[in-house]
Chain A
Amino acid sequence: KQEVTQIPAALSVPEGENLVLNCSFTDSAIYNLQWFRQDPGKGLTSLLLIQSSQREQTSGRLNASLDKSSGRSTLYIAASQPGDSATYLCAVTEGNQFYFGTGTSLTVIP
Chain B
Amino acid sequence: DAGITQSPRHKVTETGTPVTLRCHQTENHRYMYWYRQDPGHGLRLIHYSYGVKDTDKGEVSDGYSVSRSKTEDFLLTLESATSSQTSVYFCAISETGVNTEAFFGQGTRLTVV
Please give the residue numbers on chain A whose beta carbons come within 8 Å of chain B beta carbons, in ascending order: 1, 4, 31-32, 34, 36, 41-46, 49, 51, 89, 91, 93-98, 100-103
Contact = CB atoms under 8 A, between A and B. Distances in A.
Interface residues on B, range: 20 to 34
B66 to A, nearest CB: 14
Contacts of A100: 35, 42-44
Interface of chain B, helix or strand or loop or mixed? strand
8 contacts: A36-B104, A43-B104, A44-B43, A46-B102, A89-B43, A98-B43, A98-B45, A98-B102
B70 interface: no
Nearest to B97: A96
A49 B90 contact: no
Of all A-B residue pairs in the complex, the 3 with the closest CB atoms, nearest first, are A93-B98, A44-B104, A102-B42
A43 B98 contact: no
A101 B33 CA distance: 17
Interface of chain A, helix or strand or loop or mixed? strand
A95 B99 CA distance: 10
A10 to B, nearest CB: 13
Given A42-B106, A96-B48, 20 more contacts: A31-B98, A34-B101, A34-B102, A42-B107, A43-B90, A43-B104, A43-B105, A43-B107, A44-B43, A44-B90, A44-B92, A46-B103, A97-B45, A98-B45, A98-B92, A100-B35, A100-B42, A100-B43, A102-B41, A103-B42
Contacts of A96: 48, 50, 56, 97-98
Contacts of B40: 102
B96 to A, nearest CB: 11
B58 interface: yes
